């Protein structure tokens, strides 16, 4: 069970994660795992769960998995 946040807080978290995802898409030198970690920390999502899911995917898949996690906030 995740912590429930006010809509204003969720909006800020989503925006921060979006910035991380955009960075990963436009800068392939960025380690997507690091981007995922930053986005997860910002979004206060369980990083262990997301990391296990991200390990199943390639770089593009990891970015897509992040977007899916953000979309389901």
Q: What is the DSSP string of 43-71?
A: HT--HHHHHHHHTTS-HHHHHHHHHHHHH
For the chain, the structural domain boundaries read 7-71
Mean pLDDT of 52-65: 62
Rounded Cα distance between 68 and 40, Å, is 12
Asked if residue 10 has pLDDT above 70, the reply is no
Q: Is residue 1's pLDDT more than 50?
A: no
Q: What is the pLDDT of residues 39-49, one digit of tens each?
A: 656 655 555 56
């Amino acid at each position: 069970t995740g912590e429930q946040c006010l809509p204003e807080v969720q909006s800020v978290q989503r925006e921060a994660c979006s910035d991380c995802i955009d960075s990963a898409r436009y800068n392939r030198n960025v380690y997507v795992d690091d981007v995922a970690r930053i986005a997860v920390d910002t979004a206060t999502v369980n990083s262990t769960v997301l990391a296990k899911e991200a390990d199943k995917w390639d770089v593009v898949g990891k970015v897509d998995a992040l977007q899916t996690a953000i979309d389901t906030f």
